Amino acid sequence: MNFIAKLLAVSSKNKTLLCIGLDPDLEVMPQVDVLEFNRAIVDATCDLVCAYKPNLAFYEALGSEGLIILEKTIKHIPSDIPIIGDAKRSDIGNSAKAYAKALFAVFGFDAATVNPYLGFDSVEPFISYQDKGVFILCRTSNPGAQDFQDIFCVEGFPLYEKVAQKAKQWNVYGNIGLVVGATYPQELKKVRATCPEMPLLIPGIGAQGGDLASAVNYGVDAQGGKAIISVSRQILYASGKRDFAQAARNVAEKIRSEINGYRNKGW
């Protein structure tokens, strides 16, 4: 089963567009083992999500032990739930090929985030894994996104729109998606109009202040799907005590319910 089919199947099964970012931050997480923390979060929320999204930075920051934790976390996630490796990789051809192999063949992610700044040859090695999802950074959720992504191209539109157009052109295998932050709702609306059938990974809800209603209304496709609403800190750190898993479930359940209310479509 390819990434898109897997995503749509579990979205329908769990009646959800919610993705949880598994980003263990030792400075704010409860005083528990990182692997224990991840497993508890997954066990408490796996019937509420359409995907999990570990950000590799948090595991790499723990050194070699962190990569072992990441591998064990991936194995613990139910096999029907897609896992998005949030790595934001990019490099020249040979290096990009090695990055793609690491994410897809070694770690076994169902999808990965990719930076398009180096152009097509840096993205092509990821796209060539035709059963895997490739989420190209388009309009990111951070404030500094404006430094480059708002610059107008010679064609008369901003760079992020150019990225969306290129991604649509490159999508010969139907496995490309785009990352568009909920913190920029009008840009999200434009990207969805440009790429009506692509999956959109939408971070920025919760701690970053993105509006959930706009993220859903502007992010879903014509069938009310293919919008992956990613939430991390708001769910993971709902409690700093031993009840963290139940607290995470409570918040995740609330957000899923809100998403479905804004979605206003049946499953």
3-state helix, strand, coil split of the chain in percent (to 5) is 45, 15, 40
The tokens for 238 are: 């709902």
CA atoms of 71 and 59, how far apart (whole Å): 10
Just list the catalytic residues.
88
CA atoms of 180 and 61, how far apart (whole Å): 25
Strands (E), the chain: 18-20, 51-52, 84-89, 111-114, 133-139, 176-180, 200-202, 227-231
CA atoms of 256 and 16, how far apart (whole Å): 6
CB atoms inside a 10 Å sphere around CB 42: 20
The tokens for 15 are: 């009646």
CA atoms of 12 and 21, how far apart (whole Å): 20
The tokens for 159 are: 């760079």
CA atoms of 114 and 97, how far apart (whole Å): 12
CA atoms of 163 and 122, how far apart (whole Å): 14
